[in-house]
Amino acid sequence: MRIYVSADMEGIAGITSRELQLVPEGREFAEARLLLTEEVNAAIRGAYDAGATYVLVNDSHGHMNNILPDRLDPRAELSQGYPKPLYMMEGISGEFDAVFFVGYHAAIGTADGILNHSYNSRGIYNVRVGGKLMSESMLNGRVAGHYGVPVALVTGDAATIRQTQADAPGVHGAVVKWSYNRGSARFISPERAREVIAKAAADAVRSASAGGAHGMLMAERIPVRWEIDWVYTVMADMACLVPGVKRVADRSIEFESPDYLVGFKQFQAVTMLSYLV
């Protein structure tokens, strides 16, 4: 049983502030890196306890050098650095049996989602695929689905688990906090969060091994229609530099892709361009 782990930071127990904890200049960033690493370790431990034979962890937050390599469970391999062609899903392939999303957060605009956003927190107002509003777990899960790999586990706040399970029934969830709004939440202790995640990870692997319920996320139709509403009109200007992208409103663009993976790469391209303004 080969497990792929994509690890973000906003959904980690004890993390509530972008300025203090999620950026390298934040005075609590070092502590936040340790919190992240230990929740990832909990997922790895649970996976191996239930029979996993290989785990690859993709550091998926910001510039993707957050997990502490010398504190990571030595049984796992780690992918770090920026940029990566598939960003939060770099390294995924059909050789994996299940995907874990650790430390994930809710979609942009989710009232009870701590630090909610969808890829670019300063630029993307909405992103839709096939007319459906997307969170990062939904966007990334469909990359796994392109390769025929189900999402078995998601960890984070209650809103994140709710959204992911509504999109893909059968995904195991580990709730480690409950958000009041975008800037505040209550959470269980980091030690307790690791216990909850380890158990959920083991349950997810056992379920996947037994052929039980899982979360296969697939694009609903081919070709795939992508729509993005930007915060600023100039971001739509930049996106339209990419061939095939069409402006449909002052700050909105759309494009079609022959399959989901091609569209996801195009989505990455326009999102990267939006960071330039």
- Give burial (CB, 10 Å; 0-12/13-18/19+) of 111: exposed
Residues contacting 216, CB < 8 A, separation 6+ = 145, 148, 150, 151, 168
Q: Tally DSSP H helices, then E strands, for the chain.
A: 6, 12
* Nearest Cα to Cα of residue 3 among 62, 60, 59, 43: 43
Q: Where are the domains of the chain?
A: 2-118+136-209, 224-274
Looking at domain 2-118+136-209, does it have CATH number 3.40.50.300?
Answer: no
Q: Is 224-274 CATH 1.10.10.60?
A: no
Average per-residue pLDDT in the chain? 96
Mean pLDDT of 167-196: 97
pLDDT, average across residues 177-202: 98
DSSP three-state, residue 197: helix
| pLDDT tens-digit series, residues 99-137 | 999 999 999 999 999 999 999 989 999 999 999 999 999
Q: How far lies 246's CA from each of 20, 85, 254, 260, in Å? A: 38, 23, 5, 18
Asked if the model's pLDDT at residue 214 lies above 80, the reply is: no
Question: Is the confidence at residue 141, as pLDDT, over 90?
Answer: yes
Phi, psi of 161 (to 5 degrees): -65, -40
